[in-house]
Amino acid sequence: MKAPRTLTRRSAGKRPHDDRARAGHGDLPKPAGEPGVRSEDHSMLVDLVVISGFSGAGKSLAMQVFEDAGYFCVDNLPPEMLRQLADLLVHDGSKVSRACVVSDTRGGAHFELLSEVLDELRQDGVAVRLLFLHADEQTLLTRYKETRRRHPLAPSGTVADGIRSEAALLESIRHRADAFIDTTGLSANALRRRITADLLEHDQPSRLAVSFFSFGHKYGPPRDADLSFDVRFLSNPHYVGDLRPKTGFDPEVVDYIAADGRLQRFYGHVLPMLDFLLPEYVAEGKSHLVVAVGCTGGRHRSVAITEALAEYCRGRGDYEVEVQHRDVRRAPAH
């Protein structure tokens, strides 16, 4: 069942995002249907989501998704105050059943307490889930450049310095996350769909969302792929002068990759495997699948194959298909 919308505390004339409370300074299990809090309390709280991760990775947008689903939301809450908020939410008089909190490095030195606080909440029986949002350094730098904001950990330094300082602070919790989403290459709408599919309950079963993702191995693998295909064994158009500036969207590139017959043999193995696996994932209850395809630079072979696999799945009509090309816009190396 979708979360009830009665939890948001809205007053007349306010826009939906105005009701967020603000403090001063892989697939998750869906929230339990029955209260999972202290047995001595008659609390309505069935799901407390804590969002953390890199500044610029999409935490504010993620919170908006939960807010739209009826969650009571609080932004920029230090860990010690998270403990106090949880005490209020599980109190007999609380009417909040679902809540979402953003707790990140803006809390300064207090952020290091987050792991300890999460452990204490779970020991007390609070149904708490940690969502960690990540993006690679270049993506974060680009987003900061677009918004012209300073990094919270480097108010007088460079954004790159802030990102590296933040990475060190986040190391203690990133591996404790119940869900990890790499937002590199994700549009705002794609992130919304991903969070909705993976973390929120639905009134009725939805179709499996399949994201096909091309990338270049030289820039690192995606962190959240469910299936990954390495296609570097295929002929590389990068070494053909006329094809190097082109991409996998160009028919000449596709023809070159397919010329020796190995591409068709590859499809002969991979397509039947997808025909088998995808219905099995649906039967298991999986709502979102990331299929990654990698070549060397992420501009030719992986792009062409990602487009072909996505078109094949669209033709089946059973899945929600989207495509992301992480590295296709990078300048070709010489």
Choosing from 173, 199, 225, the residue where a domain stops is 199
The answer to whether residues 215 and 177 belong to one domain is no
The answer to whether residues 185 and 250 belong to one domain is no
Predicted confidence (pLDDT) at residue 91 exceeds the cutoff of 60: yes
d(CA 232, CA 177): 32
Nearest to 60 by CA among 195, 223, 220, 170: 195
Q: How far apart are the first and last CA of the chain?
A: 54
The answer to whether residues 82 and 195 belong to one domain is yes
CATH number, residue 171: 3.40.50.300
pLDDT digits (tens, 9 = 90+) for 1-20: 333 322 222 233 333 333 33
pLDDT digits (tens, 9 = 90+) for 39-77: 344 568 899 999 999 999 999 999 999 998 889 999 989
Domain range enclosing 240: 209-325
pLDDT digits (tens, 9 = 90+) for 200-223: 876 545 678 899 999 999 999 888
Compute CA distances 324 → 249, 256, 260, 281, 303, whole Å.
13, 23, 27, 21, 9
Q: What is the mean pLDDT of residues 128-135?
A: 95
The answer to whether residues 125 and 262 belong to one domain is no
The answer to whether residues 269 and 225 belong to one domain is yes
**Residue 330 domain-assigned?**
no
Tokens 């708490």 map to which residue?
128
pLDDT digits (tens, 9 = 90+) for 252-297: 999 999 999 999 999 999 999 999 999 998 887 788 899 999 999 9
Helices and strands, counts by H and E, the chain: 9, 10
The answer to whether residues 140 and 251 belong to one domain is no
**Residue 257 domain-assigned?**
yes
pLDDT at 206: 61
Residue by residue, DSSP assigns 31-67 as PPSS--S-TTS-----EEEEEEE-TTSSHHHHHHHHH
The answer to whether residues 182 and 251 belong to one domain is no
- Residues near 96 by Cβ (< 8 Å), separated by ≥ 6? 7, 44, 45, 72, 89
What's the total number of domains in the chain?
2
Which tokens belong to 7?
């939890």
The answer to whether residues 126 and 228 belong to one domain is no
Residue scoring higher pLDDT (121 or 91): 121
The answer to whether residues 109 and 29 belong to one domain is yes
